[in-house]
Structure 1
């Protein structure tokens, strides 16, 4: 889906689906999985796997909100309560999706090798671009 959107010149700034893809890709890098629960196109809850698991385990704490708001809005409210200002999220993308050739040349001039071999099998390794937000 990411590659299709990129080929059609869609960006996070001009496409809601790209924003959601970026969110899911950043969840995927947490090594704890992720979950999306939805009911129709507009009613959705999403989070990293550990956060979803905790929220479902804590259902007794927020179940009264289900009667008032519905399941997904109550779940989203509880997920928001679980959100910590201290986090470290990473988004790793293949090199070809995020850079122009001129910026790659600039990186190569700064000493980053164009080709790196795997230390174990000696095959060329893939290049990736990592975005990171760490507040802890």
Structure 2
């Protein structure tokens, strides 16, 4: 889907579906898994695996909101409470960057390494 959207000139800034695709790619690069729940055509909740599990295990804290708003809207609101301004997202696309050797081997085991392009966004200050 990402490749198709890019070929049609879509980006996170001008396409809502592209924004959702990119979010899942961010989640996939976090090494902790991710989860998505859909209900009907439009109701959706998504988060990194750790945040999703934490939210479900703390259901008693947002149960009342769930009864008022519905499960998925309350879950999304709870996710927003858990987000911090500091994050470090990354995702990797297989393929060529054009300016790097086409073939490399692992210095440790000697096997051919996969070539890819990685994007990162880290707001953490070290």
Aligned to 2:76: 76
Aligned to 1:61: 61
- Output the aligned Cα RMSD: 1.9
Higher relative contact order (CA 8 A, sep 6+): 1
Q: Figure out how many residues of one structure are paired with residues of the other and give that number.
A: 123
The alignment's TM-score, normalised by the length of structure 2, stands at 0.84
Gap change, CA 1:114 and 1:66, over 3 Å in 2: same
SS of the residue 1:85 aligns to = coil
Cα distance in structure 2, aligned partners of 1:14 and 1:95: 25
Cα distance in structure 2, aligned partners of 1:84 and 1:13: 22
The structure with the larger Rg is 1
Q: Which ranges of structure 1 fall in alignment gaps of 5 or more residues?
A: none
Greater helix content: 1
